[in-house]
Homo-oligomer: A and B are copies of this chain.
Amino acid sequence: MSHGSEPARFAWRHPAGESTVVCGVGALRAALPALAEWVAGRALFFLSTPRVRGLHLESVAELRRSAARVIDLDVPEGEAAKSLEWAERLWREMVVAGGRRDSRMICFGGGSVGDLGGFVAATFLRGIEVTQLPTTLLAQVDASIGGKTAIDLPEAKNSVGVFHHPAFVVADAAWLRTLPREEVRSGLVEALKMGILAAPLLFERIERDLPALLDGQAEALAPVVEAAARAKATIVEGDPGESGSRQLLNLGHTLGHALETALGYGGLRHGEAVGWGIVLAARLAERLGLLAAVDGERIRRLLGRFDLPVWPAALASGELLEVMGRDKKAVESGLRWVLPERIGGARHGVSVPADVVDEELSALAVAARSRLPAGELPHI
């Protein structure tokens, strides 16, 4: 593991080839020769948002000059971009601009830009190659790794998409310096999730460096990004189609997605919702005797220091239960849970008795509405 001093480079293999990740402070400079060759002589669709362009366009100027021509595509910030309307607008702009099968796509922005752009690239002329330049912590540690792409339907988030692995993921820590504190916190939850699942040293690093991390210090964040991205790449490589161990990555996401759906897009940030989901998963794991109380307490205590936003009082547990039942990861035979077994290991496909879910979710809802002080969370 590098220590923020120089960029790290690694890869994950998948059925269509290999995806190269370069991350850390100075990652873009380190990746530039390979990226320049990748776009040379080709039309480059450069997808971003006005805000990201305003902050960081200068950093990609040399890369853009390496393409035969650049067609700029702009979408709004956040989940609003992940609609069929935006996908259609991009596809049509790309046809009109003379896009071909050997054209390239670069997604420069957060997870929504990457999800939408990845989907549009995957489906344009049955697939053009894509590179992800994730600018948010959430996208750097999680969304950009693994080849998932998606858009939303009004009825359900991420319900339309495919697997389409990027040629490169270049996650420069310099882009993280301009992130709002809430965005950093949201991304750190996904890094913490990777620590709980598969990387105990990453968990310890987050415990130790939390203040500097929440402050958005690039040098502190770089090794966290690297460790989380490496851990995710390893899991993805072992299960490209999400039929097995990759389901571990859904730790905290059953409740997390339900909270996002129930509160509407924008109600809670993704990482915030997943944070509450991890608290629930740890409680369920303890109730089933899968997780030692001391580890459950350690998880809750660390998440307590994240100071996650409260839930609206109007949100009923019954509604959340119903939304969870519609989760796309459910199967005909019912919900399956990912539950931690220790700091650094988890199990997927676990059935939990409905009354236990109901009880723990209700207790969590009470605590989450009032945002008990961090020290109190272990007792919910």
A88 contacts chain B at the CB level, 8 A cutoff: yes
Encode contact with B along A134-153: 1 for CB under 8 Å, 0 otherwise: 00000000000000111001
Number of A residues contacting the other chain (C-beta, 8 Å)? Answer: 43
With A332-B41, A332-B42 as contacts: A159 and B124 at CB distance below 8 Å: yes
Residues of A within 8 A of B (CB): 15-16, 41-43, 68, 84, 88, 91-92, 95-96, 98, 100-103, 122-127, 148-150, 153-156, 159-163, 241-242, 326, 328-332
Q: Which residues of B contact A241 (CB under 8 A)?
A: 16, 127
* From A43, A124, A126, A159, residue with most partner B Cβ within 10 Å: A126
* A127 and B16 within 8 A (CB): no
* A242 and B161 within 8 A (CB): no
6 contacts between A and B (CB under 8 A): A84-B84, A98-B326, A100-B331, A100-B332, A101-B331, A162-B162
Q: Which residues of B contact A100 (CB under 8 A)?
A: 328, 330-332
Copies, count: 2
* B162 and A150 within 8 A (CB): no
A149→B123 CA distance, assembly (Å): 10
A329's contact among B16, B101, B127, B161, by CB below 8 Å, is which?
B101
How far is the CB of A138 from the nearest CB of chain B, in Å? Answer: 19
* B161 and A43 within 8 A (CB): no
* A123 and B123 within 8 A (CB): yes
* A155 and B95 within 8 A (CB): yes
* B332 and A162 within 8 A (CB): no
How far is the CB of A180 from the nearest CB of chain B, in Å? Answer: 30
A242→B101 CA distance, assembly (Å): 10
A150's contact among B103, B126, B150, B329, by CB below 8 Å, is which?
B126
A42→B122 CA distance, assembly (Å): 28
Q: Which 10 A-B pairs have the closest CB atoms?
A: A15-B15, A95-B155, A125-B328, A126-B161, A123-B160, A102-B331, A95-B156, A95-B159, A91-B160, A123-B162
A225→B326 CA distance, assembly (Å): 42
* A102 and B43 within 8 A (CB): no
Taking CB as reference atom, which chain B residue is nearest A242?
A: B126
* B332 and A160 within 8 A (CB): no
Q: Which residues of B contact A150 (CB under 8 A)?
A: 126
Q: Which residues of B contact A153 (CB under 8 A)?
A: 88, 91-92, 95
A159's contact among B43, B98, B125, B242, by CB below 8 Å, is which?
B125
A162→B127 CA distance, assembly (Å): 6
* B126 and A162 within 8 A (CB): yes
How far is the CB of A43 from the nearest CB of chain B, in Å? Answer: 7
Q: Which residues of B contact A326 (CB under 8 A)?
A: 98
A332→B123 CA distance, assembly (Å): 19
Q: Told that A91-B160, A102-B331 touch, could you supply 20 new A-B pairs with CB distance under 8 A?
A: A15-B16, A43-B332, A68-B332, A92-B153, A92-B154, A92-B155, A95-B155, A95-B159, A98-B326, A100-B332, A101-B329, A122-B162, A123-B123, A123-B160, A123-B161, A124-B160, A126-B148, A126-B161, A127-B162, A127-B241
